[in-house]
Structure 1
């Protein structure tokens, strides 16, 4: 599998709410740099991702590119809280596993939706 294949399979798994399958694509010592800060290790990453993944009502892939070490995905997600929440991940893959993720998303729509409740 290429890094892009790995990233797409991982994305399909977590957006399909199959966190066990998604975790199979992550290295145990994954490092994720996200808007809230650095997340280290697969267990901490799952704890970060699972609540969001379980809240999804839809996803749309916008673009996906890769080379021999990295893949870049840009997508839009929908949940009961926010109708459109675009995100992007640039992942590094080694030995078929994602070892690093640079995960970007706009937190403002979530903040505004929670404040309006």
Structure 2
């Protein structure tokens, strides 16, 4: 059991969405969350749900690689397997206030997803 409040929240959030339970995952997200992701800034919980929902729908598996945290900040590193991409490592650095994630710096490589979309004949964002 971790003594880090931020890490407990980050892991509960991670466990929920990687188990396809976006509703429970969102209970760990602040209404005014700000997320900086490779596609740009996402503001507010509804926009964040819109960002995460499509990925949760295509997620096949997730493996936690490492997780660290203190009172206010946590970092989780994991690898995901999804319908279009067999391996997509990612990391999130989150800020937690009053038990909710208020900020997320989401880091992942979009290249494998862009290649999968291109192979399927779908438009790829620049």
Category of TM-score, reference length = shorter chain = over 0.9
1:38 alignment partner in structure 2? 41
- Report the alpha carbon displacement of residue 93 of structure 1 after superposing the two structures with TM: 0.2
Runs (4+) of structure 1 exceeding 4 A deviation are none
Secondary structure class of the residue paired with 1:65: strand
Deviations 1:41-69 (A, max 9, x none): 00000000000011111000010000111
Q: Distance in 2 between matches of 1:93 and 1:23?
A: 13
Under a length normalisation based on structure 2, what TM-score does the superposition of the two structures give? 0.90
Gaps of 5+ in 2: 121-126
Aligned to 1:48: 51
Residue 25 (str. 1) matches residue 28 (str. 2): yes
Q: Quote the offset at 1:21 in angstroms.
A: 0.2
Q: Rg bigger for which structure?
A: 2
Q: Structure 1 residue 82 and structure 2 residue 80: aligned?
A: no
Name structure 1 gaps, 5 residues minimum: none
Residues paired across the two proteins, number: 117
Equivalent residue runs for 1:59-74 within 5 Å: 59-74=62-77
Q: For residue 81 of structure 1, give the secondary structure of its aligned residue in structure 2.
A: coil
In 1, Cα distance between equivalents of 2:24 and 2:56? 13
